[in-house]
Structure formats: structure tokens, C-alpha cells
Structure 1
């Protein structure tokens, strides 16, 4: 499948891989989750109308509403709506025809959508997760929640987050590869548009931050579903979760805000009619913030037992990270002062975002001081500060929606309605969140507060409904524009300075008639077709002119398969509890939860595996042509191919996943006392044997690459077959080792040491199994169509992954078998 159906067809949106269509899907879906999260917020604001609660919600319902609101807004709205803008605009701004991996881009969206659906279903599985959006241990494990939630709903919510992180990881690798490999000729990094710059730094932060979150979620899912003991003990479990979560959580603030900042830069330049003041220093400041964002996470842990010297160090880094933001804020102010401002709807929202962010940033400095944090932590001061920062980003994102609406739809909106929307929005925002500063003594996440604070909470509840009404105005304005608005010109804004405004509104499917080039110092469109006809271009450039594919059904199939599989394993916990109870060795707190096993969930699990197997196989077989730009700026990755660079980015993310899981082992062992740790393996020889097996398999992969380069089919088959057999031998030894332990009653819930051993080595084994499936598929392709003889690069890419898996085992062997 390569041709796209018309936009009025549902099939179009199921099969499209075009970056603009995927961007529209992201934007529409994110706005739906905004509405869902907003409705939940109104529910618990009604509960907060009276001190002590109105009785509108029960305590459990209130906890679910607060938790789900936070999770939906942070994960399913804020990051995805920015991803929607980036999908639509980044290729246009850098002169590319699409993202580097169009089918993976579509798959990223479907993972996102199905993760949100899975989260929604969790409400109907007894109850959804209710431990707060930060999911603090030990409230995030079954023994501290109700039986229903332990069995189903809470598990589904956590698995939905894992599927969402899969989506983020795929998208991050795609954007990094695209921006670094597909910039138009003459467009160096320094000269990229500021929105693209902000998104580049955002996805660099995503690559590492979400990998740490994925590790934390995998450990939590293991605790909830398979009854391991990471976060259910008193051996440092709460501190471990805090480290893992906030190593993600604080960069997430900048992951959310950077795209909004990029929109502010673009709209300020357009509607002041001048270039951003101090542009070079603004970029440097953003780079500093991106790097430093990973060095401040511990200020969320000032109330823990971490010693004062480390707390003081992190207080300094926290205050230090505010300095680059000062530069960015002053750059925006000076740009406005030196320009001629036009108060359009997009500019009003960007200006409003700047005002709100300044207040949010100033109040955040209070929390960065250890002494003041002891007073404000766990109060509504944090709630108010957090929303002034995060929702100021939402304000700018709404400005971006108005700014690029004419480009996306080809229709103009009513400025009168847009400005009315801003006025109601700004009033509702401040009426909702500013009273929270005044009611700061209210404890977070509870609906009981002092009677003297009731007026402020009633103001906030009224503000919530005003803010909600503003979004009704926005949806009416955009719907009216879509249905009956005047046609938009190609560029409705004077002084806009990015490439998307140089093409029709909406843009054509292939974006450009010619090849965009900045070689002359300004945007030009070069016609390469004549040169290609006359032989003036290389074969690669001629190949680029070939028709590109824009449709594939398999990404949505893979997304659906993942959804069914995760929905199935969300209900496995009752089976595990029953199994543990039957052994007589499970902790008492895990037995007798009252959850009854249902045959539906195992059936769904098997069905999900079947769907995944079929769709992944067909995805691999599908002929899909996504031509690479023959002439492009690729610094600093000139010598690395597009797919190879994508593999390297994926491995970099996986390094953080394994680093976090191994770090959890080291942290917990140090917390318990290094010499007090129980050595789980019954002998070291299985680990040593598996080390030899995996190292040998790395050698056979190298041989496979050599045979592929020499176009030796028999040698390639032999080497890949040997790799497959060695991998199976590794899994056989590992299965024997597990079976001996289980036969001795040494289950993964037996103690913390056993949980860590089974989960860490099991995660590695899962990577081995994935590698074996890829190897088996490659052998099938070699036998049936003589694959990889003319193009050996896929063998090299598989080798990179396999060598990485082998290197991880080299670390695991001494940690678990020798120390």
C-alpha cells in the first residue's frame, strides 16, 4: 500500500504515514485528552467547594480523579500536543519531505492513542490508579491499594504509561535522526528556526529522561503484576522510586515547556517584526538548561534522609538553572520593546504565557531553598507554582494553535473570537490558580482544609469553570473557521521568517515542488529534475526523485496488538496471587486479596501476542519506499547512515534503561549493606557458560556481516543460523537455572534479592528473545529473497543491537554471580 485515500475517508487516517497527517492526529487526540483531564479537574474542584468536602466524590473517587487528571495532563496532553506541532512543522522548517522513518512515526501515534484508550478502560476495571501522578512508593504497589485495583485497573494504568513511553521513544529516535540528517542544503544547526531548536533539545532530553521513567515503570509493573518486591519493602524502596521518578520528572518540566518557549520565540519575532534579541545566547541558554535539567532532580527530595551537603549542592544547581531562563525572558522582553507589536490572538497568548511563567518561576525559587521547601513542600504553594509553570506552557501552545491554524487548515479564524477566548482564559487561569498561593496551607491531594481557607478554594473552583468555558470558546472559534472561515493566504502574517510560510496553505502532500536550499543565504527552491535527466546528478539524487510511499496499514495493527496484549496482562495478578498462595511461600500481604481470576485476560494476552506476531511479520515484509535526501546538511553525523544513526539513538536510550535497573540493584544493595546481600544464583557456572555463549555469538554476527559484504549467501545463512542457535543455547541455560531455583522454592517474591535477580536478568533475557526473533526473520528473508546480499547494512544494524545485549551481560555476570 502506497497511495493515500482522500482526507474525507476514514481509511486515510488509519493508513497514513505522512508527517502532516500524523501531526493533525496528534493535535486532535491531545485536545481530546485535554477535555478528559479538564472534566476530572472540575469533578474534584466541586469536591473542594466546602472545607471537609462536599460529598460529591468519595475519598477513593477523589484520589482517582486527582491522580488521573495529573497523569492525563502531563503525559497524554502536554507532550503529545507539542509532538503534533513538531510532526507537522519540523520537516517543513528544515526543508525535509517527511520524517526519516515515516512508518515508525505512524506507529508512535498509534501507540500513543491506544495507550490513552487503555488508560481510559482502567476506570472500568474496578477503579483506576489512585496513588497520585507521581506514583510514590509504597502507595504504587498492590498491597497498599484495594483488591480490585491491585488486580486490574491500576495495572492497566501503569501498562498504559509503559505503552506511552514506547511511543515517546520511537518518536524521539525519529526526530533526532531527521533533524540531524535531513536539513536542507545550507541550513546549519545555528540557523535552524527557534521552534525546531527548542524541539531538538526537547527530544534529546526525552531520549534519556523517558528511558529512566520506563525503567521505573517496568519495575513497578513487575511489583504489581508478578508480585516482586522492589517497592514493597522498607529497604529504601521509597527513596529508590523517588530517585528514578524525579530523574525523569524534573527534565519533564523543560520537556513540556521548551516547545512552548519555541512557539513564543517564533510568535514574538513575527508580531514584533524583528529578529529575536540575543538569538545566539538564547540558544546557548536553552542548551545549558537541557544539560543542567538532569542535575537538579534531588531538590524534589529535600524532605528525605539525604544528607545536608548533597541537599545544599542541589539547591545551588536548582538556583543556577534559573539563570539561563532569566536570559531568555529578557530576550523576549527586549524583542518586544524594540519591535512594533501587533496584538493578534497568537501574540496575546504568547505574551500571557510569558507573564504567567515569570510568576511561576519566581515562586519556584522559594521551593529551591532547603529551608523554605521544608515549609512549602506538600502544600498548595507547590500546586500553584507547578500550574503557573506547566499551564503557562499550555498558554503558549494555544497561541501556537492559532498561529499555525491557517497553515494547517487553509482557513482564517475570527480575531474577535480569538481575543475573547484569550480574555476569558487569562481571567479563568488566574482566578483558578492564584488563590492557591493564598491558600498555601492546604495539604496536597486531600479535600479537607481549614474553614478559613474556604473562600480561596471557592474562588479557585469558580475559576476552573471560567477556564473550562474559555476552551468552549476556542473549540467554537476553530470549528466556525473550519466550516465557514475565509480562505487563508499562503502567508497571513507579515514578518514571518520560517520556511512553512513559503508554500501553500495547507501544504501539498510532498511539501516542496523543488528542493529547498539555503546555500545562497536565503530560502530558494532548486529544480533538480532537469539535472537528473541530463545526468548532472548522482544516482542517489535521481533516486530521490522517485515516488515516496505515504501509507501502511501495519503501524495501526501493531499498535492494536500491543493494546490487546497489555490489556490482557493487566488482569494476570489474580493468577499470580493464587499461584503464590498455593506455594505457601508468598508474603501474607499478597494472599487473600479477594481478586478472582478471569479467563478473559489470559485469552486477551494470547490474542495480543498473535496479532503482534502477524503484524510485525507483515511490517517487515512490506515494501515501503521513503527516499533519503541526497543533498542535505548532516553535521555532526555526516559519516553515519540514517538507519544506523537511528539504531545508535535507540541503543543510547536502552543504555539508560539498563543503567537505571542496574543502578536500582546497586542502590538497594548498598542500602541493605553490601555484605548482607543474599547471593541468589546456586552456582556461578551457568553465568560463566552463558558469558562464553554470548561472546561467541558476537563473533558469529561479525562473520555474518563479512559474508554479506562478500555476497556469500551460504556463509551468511550459516553465520546467522549459528547466532540463532547460540542465542537459543543461552536461553536454555537461563531456563535451566530458573527452573532449579523455582524447584527449590526460590521464587521472585521470596525476597528483595530474588526480585532484583529475576527482574534484571529477565529484562536482559527479553532483549535476547527480541534479538532471536529478528535473527529468525532475517534468516527467512535470506532464504526466500536473497536479502542483504546487495545491501548488507541491515546485518550491521542487527549486529549493533546484538553486541549491545552481549555487553550488558558482561556487566550482569560479575554483579550477580561473582560479587
Structure 2
């Protein structure tokens, strides 16, 4: 079935506000609603196999294909995590042990939380983001298509690695928050627990790669006239989400790297309870954890805003204030994390401060909620499936937000923390976001497939979903005294938990309806046309469904306040196309079908296929699977240890080879930018990508340095020296400081040589950089070897990473820096090899970008040297 009355073309007099004016979102004119609804397949001209072949999906770098891969994979993890949830609900039918043992229950609880939060929620949203955002921006693809593919494959293989953990003695069982000291091997000794931690770390790397790509694209690849102020609301939410992801996930990566070191190398960060290890984990985790709530909810908020506008026929009321509120929430999200720690030993004054920031962050959400409500009141609502899910998400989020206010108060949090009140509130907020995202799935399903879903089945899905959701979670508020993460609870709550279990299975059954509906519709559904919705005014609806390979029949421009497609060469006269709302195109012309069908055939030189992102994903999976077998820095003996050692070796070699081939591959990305790039007008795409990556790296090193300072203060700043041997002297660190500073100067010389066209000067300066970097590592190795093999005195057994917390912080922080140096040396070797053959003399930018990275590494050492050698 079609979308009912919304599949009709709207007349101007039926529009309550006359549409979206150029002062707000640019109005869209385009071929989306007429006879030119057919997307052409010019894939063979761009290195892509046919969409029906498996090879297509292994090598594609096109953003639309990657979006579909993200969406389908996220739905798989929805099933995976949902099965875990149903197991929990069966166990809770009556209090006490039942289907699952105590340990199995703990693993199911932990796996459910980790899978849903990391491998389903955000990736599901970014399936839409990958598909829709470049279309909304007027871009042909993301700025770095191969990085986009790499982010997907790292995501997929991180999830598969987590799945493997179940077969290694059991997965992680310490809860999705992984609180210390339960996260160290003393309490979770299974190899599978270490694998789960490594899998999560690989997922975070995927997120970082994706964040760099999206931020570069959204700041540098917008169409002419599409200023930030005019950008569609869904794209706005993705922009803010990726900025939050960039910094929040960097803090989580630091926590996971430290935890992996504790588990695999035997360091003493989180096991050191006397030095605040447990509190340190809570700070690191929740600095990520609370922004994660908004990282999950913001894309759903963008979907809701788009659906409210489309299905009420009204521009969002207070649009600029809505955007300002989102920006404010994104900033405030990093100053509220400690409200998750009200039950710790933090003093009352600080708790009171964070109670105030928690209440403060709720105020911008009030504005956003009222903006959505007023938009609905002032418009003419059309109760299609996407709108029903969006409206349902709003209702659920309001209830989740109100119940969250209780937890934001210190006194009430003492009572509610650790109970099912938290479970219910958490799901009313997080799954409210999921509800909105399912609205997005129905909203963009016609664009992705060219087919309409069955409207009756869509509404049936919503009815079962909404009833099942509330039947599942609302009784938890009533039975709130149930202890969290425990299957033993008072007999008085049996009926409420049984009601929740019925609701859980009803919620699960609703997805069977959804999968049947979408599967059947994708194969045999009604043709959707380019634009099945009456009032949809964003750019993706101005092209056929599904869009052609390179998205647009020309260069999109919003300079006039309306979408026009300008010619790629020759005259810049706008090529007019029929307006989506039936109005005239800017020049009165109408694009014919032949013009549109040639949209995918324009050869702009872009490539769309590369196998190396997939290869990097496979090699990363094998490398981390092998490393999971490490125990206190070594592999165990016997066949098991041999398997893990061999897997690490094969994966490591494959990873190195794949990265080299990825770097050496001749790949032409999308051209541009050709429009709005504020505030980075003078910064080239790759340079901006490097800067954004380094911003994330600042947070990573900041978390490591902050962890060192936190533990040292907790132990006693001056007492710290008692943990350090006299042999740990300043001289090696001072020598390394001189080596790195000199190497930075050598990089400057290399850039000057490239600018002057001096081939041998460039090769010589890069070679000097390499030699100085190797000298740094050799000096560091000599120092470490000496400390490892001390004789006599208190540290007669050597000062190793596991000796005490001081040695752990020293080796791990300087070791992280050393890994950055090693990565830089591999890049230097690559640059030397290419410079030897005459590269970079006519384009010195790669040398400049490498210099940014190398100077950053040197600057970091200028902080580490006094911290670990002098103070």
C-alpha cells in the first residue's frame, strides 16, 4: 500500500504555511515526484559489480551501499540482543534460578546491554546517516569513501569478535558498564571477557574513523548556498552527534585500552582499589556514557523533526531555537557525567554542582519537546507509519525524561540507584530513540528501495510495538524495588514481572511483522516514485528512488533558495527541473527522463570500489582474536597458546599488508567542495580530516594523563616516589626530548624541500626524521630493558608494567606514545619510498599533513617528559 493521502501531490493552497522558505530550509525543486522516478545502474563504469553479486557488497565504497549494510547489520544485532533480552524475561517469570545459571544470567545481562547500546543503536542511526546525509547536503559521496567502508567493516568484525567471546569460556559478565574491579581477570577470568573488551575497542576505532569522515564531509562538502543555518534538521543532528562521538568515544577508547592492558599485560590500574582504580573507571566510563545518551537520541530527534514537518505540512516551529537547544545539549552533555556517581565517595559540594548541571540540561529538551508539540498543533497531521513512530517516540521520551529527574536529585538517587526504576527510566529514554529510528526506517524505506511498504502492516507493527513496549517497561516503575541485574526479587512483584515478560514477547512479535512487511515490500511492493510524501522538502526527495550512483544530474545549488542542478562544464546556466510540490522550476524548464537517467552516467572520475577496507577488517579481527589469548604479557603453553600466537602473527602481517595496499591504491574520491565550507573555507579536506583526528587524539592522551594524575593524587603525590626505583633517571627522557625536537625540525626541512622541488633534499630530510625516530625508540628500549632487569634492593625482580601502579602508568602512557611514533615511522618509510620516485614535488600537501601528525606526537612528549621523569 502507499502512504495514503500523503502519496498525492500537494497543491499550494493546501499548505498551511506555504512551504519552507529560503530563510529557513531551502525549498527543494527536483525530479523526485514525477515521471523520472527510475534510477539507472551505471555501476559497471565505476568499478562496481552488479548489486545482485556478493562481491559488490564486499568492495563497495558508495555511501548508499554502506548505509544499507549498516542498517541490515544493525537489525541483525537487534535480533541478537533481543534474544538475550527474552532470555532474561523468561528467567524473571518467577524469582530465583530458572532457565539460566547465575553466571549465564550475568553474561546475558551484560551481552544484551553491550550489543544494544554499541552494536545496534548508534549503527542503526548511522545507516540512515550514511544513506541520507550526502543526499541532503548535495554531495556525491562522503569525503573519504574508503574510510566509510573501513568504518563499516571494523564495525561488523567487532561485532563478530564479540560473538566469538561466547565460545571462549563465556563472554564478559560484569554488566554493560564494566565497573571496576569486576572488569579485571580476578573476577572475570574468561578469555572471552578479554575478547569482549577488545571487540568494543575495535568498535570505538570504527566510530572514530566514521566521525572524522562525517565531520569533514558536513563542514566541507555542502552544496552552494546550503549554509549551516539552512541545513536540514536530520543533518544537523548527525553533525552534533558526530562531534560528541569524536570526543566521548576517545575517552572510552582510553578506558578500554587501559582495561585491555590490565587484562592482557597485567598492569594495575583498575585493580588498585587503594589508589582509586574503581573510581577512575567510573570517571572515564561516564565521561563517555552520558554523552552516549544524546549520541543515541539525537539522530532519532532528527528523524522526528523531519517526520513532524513532512506529515504536518508545517515548518518546525522555532527551528533556530530548536537547533540552538541541540547545540547547548551537546555542549552540556560533557559536564553532567558525575550524576551517575552520586553513590561514590565524591564530596557533597561536587555532587550538588552536578545535580544542578543535570537539571540544567533538561531545560533545552523542554524547548525541543514543545517545538515538536506546537508543530503538530499548528499543522494538519497525517497518521502514517513514520509519523506514528515519531509521535510515539515523543510520548515515551517525555515519560523517560520526567522519571529521570528523580535520579538527578542526590537524595532520591540514593534510594533509586541499583533498582528497576533505573532500568525502566533508561529504557524509556534509550528505546524512545529506537522508536524514532524505526519511524526513520519507514520514512526512508521508499527512497532506499524504490518500493512502498504496506501501510496496514506498518500501523499493525506500531500498535504491537507501542503496547508491548509499555507493557514491558512500565511495570518496572511499579516493581522498582527489584534489585538491578539480579533474578531474585520479592514475591510481591511476581505479577508485575510476568506482565513485563508478556510485554517483552509482544514487543518481539512486533518485529516479526516489520521484517515480513519490509521484506515482502522490497521484493513486490508498490513503486514508490521519487517522492511519495506530500510536503517532504529535503534534497533526497528530489532525485529518483533509489538514487543513481552519483546522486544528482549535475551540480546541486541552493544559491537561489531553491534546489537547482547546474551543468558540470560549459555554461553555468541552471538546468531547471519540475518542482516537487507541483510549482514551476526556477527557469521554467522540466528535466526529461533521459537527462535524469544519465545522472549516474556522468563520469566525474570517482571510484566506488576497493577491497582493502574489507581486508583491513578481516586482519583486525584475526589480530585481536589472537591477542585475546595473552595472559600477563605472554601466551600460555600448549596447543591453545600456539593457536593464539599464530592467529596474532597472521592477523598482524595481514593488517600491515592491507594498510600498505590501502595507502598505495590509486583511488579517486568525490570532487569538491564546491559550495559552503564555513568555518573551514581555507582548509583542504584531508587536512581538516587530520585536524579532526588529532582533536580526538588530544582527548585520548588527555584521558591517559588524567588517569595518571588521578591515581597519583589518590595514592599521595609525594608518596608516589616510593613506588619508583632510583634507576629511573632523567637522562633517557632528556635524550629522547632532544631527538624528537630535532626530528620535528627535520620534517619542516622536508616540507621546505618539497616546496622548492628538491627531490634529494626531501628524501634526505625524511630519512633524517626516520633515523631520529628510530633513535628515540632504541633509547626507549634500552631504558625499559634496564628497568625490567634491576638487581638488588626493593625492586630486585625488576620494575615491570605489573610491579605497581606507578610502573603501570609509566609504561602504558609512554608506550601509547611509542606506538604513535612507530605509526609515524611507517608513514615516513612510505613517504621516503614515494619521494624517491619523484612524488610530492608538485604537491607537497601529504608531507604537510604528516608533519601535523609528527609535531603533535612531539608536543605530547613535551608533556610526558616532565610528568614521568621530573615531577
Instruction: Return the offset for 1:630.
Output: 4.8
Q: Does 1:688 align with 2:731?
A: no
Q: Which residue of 1 aligns with 2:227?
A: 188
Q: Does 1:227 align with 2:270?
A: no
Q: Which residue of 1 aligns with 2:818?
A: 765
Q: Which residue of 2 aligns with 1:85?
A: 128
- Quick one: distance in 1 between partners of 2:394 and 2:529? 29
- Quick one: distance in 1 between partners of 2:534 and 2:827? 52
Q: Which residue of 1 aligns with 2:623?
A: 565
The correspondence for 2:375, drawn from 304, 329, 335, is: 335
Q: Which residue of 2 aligns with 1:209?
A: 248
The correspondence for 1:121, drawn from 164, 188, 198, is: 164
Q: Does 1:708 align with 2:754?
A: yes
RMSD, aligned CA: 1.4
Q: Which residue of 2 aligns with 1:408?
A: 448
Q: Which residue of 2 aligns with 1:756?
A: 809
SS in 1 for 2:453: coil
Q: Which residue of 1 aligns with 2:96?
A: 52
Query: Over residues 32-64 of structure 1, what are the superposed CA-to-partner deviations in whole Å (9 max), with x where a residue is unaligned?
Result: 0000000010011111110123x2000010000
Q: Which residue of 1 aligns with 2:80?
A: 36
Q: Which residue of 2 aligns with 1:419?
A: 459
Q: Does 1:799 align with 2:851?
A: yes
After TM superposition, what 4+ stretches of structure 1 lie above 3 angstroms from structure 2?
574-579
Instruction: Return the offset for 1:552.
Output: 0.4
Q: Does 1:108 align with 2:145?
A: no
The alignment of Structure 1 onto Structure 2 pairs a total of residues equal to 788
Checking the alignment, whether the CA contact within 8 Å between 1:208 and 1:653 is kept in structure 2 is yes
Instruction: Return the offset for 1:353.
Output: 0.3
Q: Does 1:817 align with 2:869?
A: yes
Do the aligned partners of residues 532 and 186 (structure 1) sit closer, same or farther apart at CA in structure 2, a change above 3 Å counting? closer
- Quick one: distance in 1 between partners of 2:211 and 2:635? 37
- Quick one: distance in 1 between partners of 2:516 and 2:810? 56
Instruction: Return the offset for 1:532.
Output: 8.4
Instruction: Return the offset for 1:788.
Output: 1.0
- Quick one: distance in 1 between partners of 2:95 and 2:608? 56
Instruction: Return the offset for 1:679.
Output: 3.4
Gaps of 5+ in 2: 1-44, 574-601, 791-797
Q: Which residue of 2 aligns with 1:99?
A: 142
Query: Over residues 760-810 of structure 1, what are the superposed CA-to-partner deviations in whole Å (9 max), with x where a residue is unaligned?
Result: 010000000000011011111122x31111110000000000000000000
Q: Which residue of 2 aligns with 1:775?
A: 828
Query: Over residues 453-486 of structure 1, what are the superposed CA-to-partner deviations in whole Å (9 max), with x where a residue is unaligned?
Result: 1111111111110000000000000011011101
- Quick one: distance in 2 between partners of 1:402 and 1:376? 37
Q: Does 1:15 align with 2:95?
A: no
Q: Which residue of 2 aligns with 1:523?
A: 563
Matches within 5 A, 1:481-492: 481-492=521-532
SS in 2 for 1:531: coil
Q: Which residue of 1 aligns with 2:614?
A: 556
Gaps of 5+ in 1: 534-543, 580-594
Query: Over residues 369-411 of structure 1, what are the superposed CA-to-partner deviations in whole Å (9 max), with x where a residue is unaligned?
Result: 0000000000000000000000000000000000000000000
Greater relative CO, 1 or 2 (CA 8 Å, sep 6+): 2
Instruction: Return the offset for 1:287.
Output: 0.2
Comparing 217-226 with 628-637, greater Cα deviation is found at: 628-637
Q: Which residue of 1 aligns with 2:779?
A: 733
Checking the alignment, whether the CA contact within 8 Å between 1:417 and 1:477 is kept in structure 2 is yes
Query: Over residues 111-142 of structure 1, what are the superposed CA-to-partner deviations in whole Å (9 max), with x where a residue is unaligned?
Result: 00000000000000110011100000000000
SS in 1 for 2:565: strand
Q: Does 1:175 align with 2:214?
A: yes
* Structure with the larger helix share: 1
Instruction: Return the offset for 1:613.
Output: 1.4
Q: Which residue of 2 aligns with 1:200?
A: 239
- Quick one: distance in 2 between partners of 1:611 and 1:291? 40
TM-score by length of 1: 0.95
Checking the alignment, whether the CA contact within 8 Å between 2:182 and 2:188 is kept in structure 1 is yes
Checking the alignment, whether the CA contact within 8 Å between 2:219 and 2:678 is kept in structure 1 is yes
Matches within 5 A, 1:370-519: 370-519=410-559
- Quick one: distance in 2 between partners of 1:34 and 1:753? 42
- Quick one: distance in 1 between partners of 2:246 and 2:731? 37
- Quick one: distance in 1 between partners of 2:751 and 2:816? 27
- Quick one: distance in 2 between partners of 1:577 and 1:712? 49
Instruction: Return the offset for 1:711.
Output: 1.2
Checking the alignment, whether the CA contact within 8 Å between 2:84 and 2:111 is kept in structure 1 is yes
SS in 2 for 1:476: helix
SS in 1 for 2:472: helix
Instruction: Return the offset for 1:23.
Output: 0.4
Query: Over residues 74-126 of structure 1, what are the superposed CA-to-partner deviations in whole Å (9 max), with x where a residue is unaligned?
Result: 00000101111100000000100000000000000000000000000000011
- Quick one: distance in 2 between partners of 1:70 and 1:557? 29
- Quick one: distance in 1 between partners of 2:715 and 2:633? 31
Instruction: Return the offset for 1:573.
Output: 1.6
Instruction: Return the offset for 1:577.
Output: 8.1
Q: Which residue of 1 aligns with 2:657?
A: 614
